[in-house]
């Protein structure tokens, strides 16, 4: 059965053309609506509003044009971290300049990449957005972005690393028999930083080189990080995405010749992100652990 949402939306004060252009659902189930309107229910908004299931909320100062002309939001996208990307015909949010494209992190609006201000198309706007990891794809009516010719389509790669990226690796072993022929290595990799760690390269090395009987992966309770599928044999080297404050738990059952002690286990996880014009930037975080002990396998260890 159809029902209304909190009184709906309006465009009051002599403004014309009330409409909704796009709708997205946030990870927590709230719904964001965008278009051209300045009232949601009884709440003052600027062309974008959030519905929590019972009430309307503004997203900061919303999105508008400094000239006072009527703005609109034509496209929305949500990142895996729950950020809202909005594109359309606007150039500000309050005092924050935003040339047709902005990012809402739950608290404030910020610009995304180089400016569209020199697009050289009258009445330019962004009408479509796709966000995949660090990649932001936009489509619309524009000719340039950041001094680069980009006719109606542009691609920007965000830097998701920096000081707010923190990878932590912990691990331990346990013996399965007295000969030292088998061991279970359990390894957790967690991103405790405020940024998502995309394309994290996770690799392990065990000395002496064992045979991998099996390995499994289990997501942390948050469940946003996805386990890769086992492929091939040997100690795995994987490329995984680690959302902020989430991680993965690995278990490796390894086997070696009888009486052979496992003397060294090292694990490394690194994340790099790059984006092009203007210039190349990268963010790097690494955790590398090595343990050497005559009885490391029989006694077990943690790092």
Tens-digit pLDDT string for the chain (303 aa): 888 888 888 888 766 788 999 999 998 899 999 999 999 999 999 999 999 999 999 999 999 999 988 899 999 999 877 889 999 999 999 999 998 899 998 889 998 877 776 555 445 788 999 998 778 889 888 887 777 777 888 888 776 554 455 667 666 666 555 455 666 777 777 777 666 776 677 766 665 566 666 778 888 866 677 787 655 455 556 777 777 778 888 887 777 655 454 544 555 555 544 332 222 223 333 333 333 333 333 333 333
Q: Are residues 176 and 75 in the same domain?
A: no
Q: What is the CATH number of the domain that holds 253?
A: 2.60.40.10
Quote the number of domains for the chain: 2
SS3 291: strand
Cα dihedral 140, 142, 143, 144, rounded to 10, equals -100
Cα dihedral 202, 207, 211, 216, rounded to 10, equals -30
> Does the N-terminal peptide bond of residue 208 adopt cis geometry, omega within 30 degrees of 0?
yes
CA 133/CA 148 separation, integer angstroms = 23
End-to-end CA distance of the chain: 56
CA 27/CA 6 separation, integer angstroms = 21
> Does the N-terminal peptide bond of residue 112 adopt cis geometry, omega within 30 degrees of 0?
no
Structure tokens at 275: 């984006």
Q: Are residues 72 and 192 in the same domain?
A: no
Q: Are residues 138 and 187 in the same domain?
A: no
Q: Are residues 20 and 145 in the same domain?
A: yes
């Amino acid at each position: 059965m159809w029902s209304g949402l909190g009184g709906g939306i309006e465009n009051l004060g002599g403004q014309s053309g009330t409409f909704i252009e796009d709708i997205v659902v946030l990870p927590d189930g709230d719904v964001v609506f965008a278009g051209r309107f300045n009232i949601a229910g009884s709440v003052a908004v600027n062309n974008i509003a959030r519905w929590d299931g019972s009430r309307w909320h503004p997203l900061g100062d919303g999105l508008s044009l400094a000239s006072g002309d009527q703005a609109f939001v034509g496209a929305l996208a949500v990142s895996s971290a729950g950020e809202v990307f909005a594109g359309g015909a606007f150039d500000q949010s309050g005092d924050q300049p935003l040339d047709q494209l902005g990012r809402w992190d739950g608290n404030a609006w910020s610009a995304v990449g180089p400016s569209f201000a020199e697009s050289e198309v009258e009445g330019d706007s962004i009408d479509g957005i796709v966000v995949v990891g660090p990649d932001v794809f936009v489509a619309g009516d524009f000719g340039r972005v950041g001094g680069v010719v980009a006719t109606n389509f542009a691609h920007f790669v965000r830097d998701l690393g920096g000081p707010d990226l923190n990878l932590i690796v912990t691990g331990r072993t346990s013996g399965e028999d007295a000969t030292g022929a088998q061991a279970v290595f359990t390894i957790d990799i967690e991103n405790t930083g405020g940024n998502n760690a995309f394309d994290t390269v996770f690799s392990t090395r065990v000395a002496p080189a064992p045979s991998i009987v099996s390995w499994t992966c289990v997501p942390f309770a948050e469940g946003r990080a996805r386990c890769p599928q086992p492929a091939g044999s040997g100690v795995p080297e994987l490329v995984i995405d680690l959302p902020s404050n989430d991680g993965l738990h690995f278990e490796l059952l390894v086997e070696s010749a009888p009486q052979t002690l496992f003397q060294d286990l090292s694990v490394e996880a690194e994340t790099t992100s790059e984006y092009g014009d203007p210039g190349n930037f990268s963010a790097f975080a690494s955790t590398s652990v090595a343990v050497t002990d005559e009885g490391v396998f029989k006694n077990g260890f943690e790092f």
